[in-house]
């Protein structure tokens, strides 16, 4: 029996920056996709998707061409095949989880990372693959394989775990102090609009930067500071100016937050104010936050939240709020009263390792093999 899991993630600073080759600050939380499987006598993967009561069969002899969009089970097989892995032995597989779907906390990326870990666990030497490499392969299988507009933040964060500052240009990471205090997630009940939001934001952001580079060929967005927005404002065509503002000032906020989170002293009040500033940019410049979600976050702030922001690409989905133990329940109730579908406390985690009382783990690098034990 093989059993693995991968966590959800939250982006705290740098939303809509990774596809501009700008850094992000994101962390993994205690919500997971779980996969378990045992070998069978066939050359077929029989996959049971417990939460949606669906089944998928993959004949390992079939050609992986012309895949349907978001067929991540097969795109992962195709990407790993390009890396030299061959899968011939069938497995009976069950998949379930407690990550909200289509809500901005990267349930699809968690599935892709967990699926890669599961497949590697079936191969000799699979445990030698680094977390960073798994993140890259997950990005290839989910984004580049289907020519999608997203960046690499989700896959890299989920694969490597913890609170990370990710330089998306170099793909280097820095582990940060994960002390955000107490955190609450609220599910708005509105499905997010990933592709439309991402495509517009990416295209407008890139056009804004390209307009500046047309006037100043050696300009790079990584050198931007607070004065950069005004210095090059006239070079940016009017339709792209909001996204120019977002690119510059979100970057500035991310660097400020990184400096604080890299230290041993965290000022949660200031961090919350920066989170609120980030949200203002997202809703007023990127325009990715529906009015009802703005109302829900305002209710949370009135109830004592230090900061609140939308999670993920936007258009719907989840929100995160920084709270204290004193205000936590008040904020949760404020979300509910403002119309949220659900609200609950979550925790940042350092990794995604899973251990069941009825399994004995043999830990190899970045995933866990499990040997069945009799019930006690």
pLDDT at residue 329 above 80? yes
Higher pLDDT, 27 or 196: 27
Does CATH place domain 2-177+350-372 in 3.30.230.10?
Answer: yes
Q: Which of 95-104, 135-144, 321-330, 348-357 has the lowest mean pLDDT?
A: 348-357
**pLDDT in the model for residue 363:** 28
pLDDT at residue 371 above 50? no
Taking only the tens place, the pLDDT of each residue in 6-25 is: 999 999 999 999 889 999 99
Q: What is the mean pLDDT of residues 85-102?
A: 92
Q: What is the mean pLDDT of residues 176-197?
A: 84
Cβ-based burial of 350 (10 A; exposed 0-12, middle 13-18, buried ≥19): middle
Centre a 10 Å sphere on the Cβ of residue 205 and count the other Cβ atoms it contains.
24
Domain 182-349 in the same topology as domain 2-177+350-372: no
Confidence label for 236 from pLDDT (cuts 50, 70 and 90)? very high
Q: What is the CATH number of domain 182-349?
A: 3.30.70.890
Residue 310 CB contacts under 8 Å (≥ 6 apart), including other chains: 15, 104, 279, 282, 283, 288, 289, 293, 297, 317, 318, 319
pLDDT at residue 369 above 60? no
What is the rounded distance in angstroms from the CA atom of residue 193 to the CA atom of residue 150?
13
What is the rounded distance in angstroms from the CA atom of residue 250 to the CA atom of residue 227?
13
Q: Which of 302-311, 323-332, 367-376 has the lowest mean pLDDT?
A: 367-376
**pLDDT in the model for residue 195:** 64
What is the rounded distance in angstroms from the CA atom of residue 48 to the CA atom of residue 55?
5
Q: Please name which of 156, 138, 135, 116 lies closest in space to residue 35, comparing C-alpha atoms.
A: 116
Beta bridge partners of 47: 56, 93
- The bridge status of strand 342-346 relative to strand 182-187 is antiparallel
**Domain coordinates in residue numbering, the chain:** 2-177+350-372, 182-349
Confidence label for 196 from pLDDT (cuts 50, 70 and 90)? low
**pLDDT in the model for residue 101:** 77
Q: Measured in whole angstroms, how far is the alpha carbon of residue 18 from the centre of its chain?
A: 11
Confidence label for 151 from pLDDT (cuts 50, 70 and 90)? confident
Q: What is the mean pLDDT of residues 341-350?
A: 92
Centre a 10 Å sphere on the Cβ of residue 156 and count the other Cβ atoms it contains.
27
Radius of gyration of the chain (CA): 21
pLDDT at residue 5 above 70? yes
Return the axis-axis angle of helices 131-139 and 153-160, rounded to nearest 10°.
150
**DSSP E strand boundaries for the chain:** 2-13, 24-39, 44-49, 54-59, 91-97, 163-167, 172-175, 182-187, 307-310, 318-323, 342-346, 348-349, 359-364, 367-372
pLDDT at residue 201 above 70? yes
Taking only the tens place, the pLDDT of each residue in 257-306 is: 999 999 988 999 999 999 999 999 999 999 999 999 999 999 999 999 99
Confidence label for 205 from pLDDT (cuts 50, 70 and 90)? very high
Return the sign of the alpha-carbon dihedral for residues 355, 359, 364, 367: negative
Taking only the tens place, the pLDDT of each residue in 129-149 is: 999 999 999 999 999 999 887
Return the sign of the alpha-carbon dihedral for residues 194, 148, 62, 120: negative
Q: What is the mean pLDDT of the chain?
A: 89
pLDDT at residue 362 above 50? no
**pLDDT in the model for residue 174:** 96
What is the rounded distance in angstroms from the CA atom of residue 246 to the CA atom of residue 131?
31
CB 321 within 8 A of CB 184: yes
């Amino acid at each position: 029996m093989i059993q693995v899991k991968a966590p959800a993630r939250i982006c705290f600073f740098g939303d809509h920056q990774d596809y501009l080759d700008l850094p992000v600050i994101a962390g993994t939380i205690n919500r997971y996709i779980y996969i378990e499987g045992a070998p069978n006598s066939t050359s077929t993967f029989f996959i049971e998707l417990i939460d949606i009561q669906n089944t998928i069969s993959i004949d390992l002899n079939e050609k992986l061409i012309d895949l349907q969009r978001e067929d991540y089970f097969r795109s992962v097989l195709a990407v790993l095949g390009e890396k030299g892995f061959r899968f011939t032995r069938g497995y009976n597989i069950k998949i379930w989880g407690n990550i909200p779907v289509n809500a901005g906390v990267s349930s699809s990326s968690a599935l892709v990372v967990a699926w890669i870990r599961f497949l590697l666990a079936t191969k000799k030497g699979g445990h030698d693959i680094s977390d960073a490499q798994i993140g890259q392969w997950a990005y290839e299988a989910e984004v580049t394989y289907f020519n999608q507009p997203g960046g690499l933040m989700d896959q890299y964060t989920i694969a490597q775990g913890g609170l990370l500052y990710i330089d998306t240009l170099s793909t280097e990471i820095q582990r940060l102090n994960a002390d955000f205090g107490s955190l609450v997630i609220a599910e708005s009940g509105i499905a997010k609009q990933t592709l439309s939001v991402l495509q517009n934001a990416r295209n407008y952001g890139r056009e804004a930067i390209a307009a500046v580079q047309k006037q100043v060929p050696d300009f790079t967005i990584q050198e931007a500071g607070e004065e950069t927005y005004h210095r090059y404002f006239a070079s940016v065509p009017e339709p792209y100016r909001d996204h120019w503002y977002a690119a510059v000032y979100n970057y500035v906020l991310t660097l400020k937050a990184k400096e604080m989170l890299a230290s041993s002293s965290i000022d949660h009040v200031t961090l919350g104010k920066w989170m609120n500033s980030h949200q203002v940019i997202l809703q007023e410049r990127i325009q990715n936050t529906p009015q009802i979600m703005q109302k829900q976050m305002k209710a949370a702030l009135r109830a004592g939240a230090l900061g609140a922001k939308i999670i993920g690409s936007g258009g719907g989905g989840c929100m995160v709020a920084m709270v204290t133990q004193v205000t936590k329940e008040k904020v949760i109730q404020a979300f509910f009263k403002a119309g949220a579908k659900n609200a609950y406390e979550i925790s940042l985690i350092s990794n995604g390792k899973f251990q069941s009382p009825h399994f004995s783990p043999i830990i190899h690098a970045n995933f866990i093999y499990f040997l069945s034990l009799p019930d006690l």
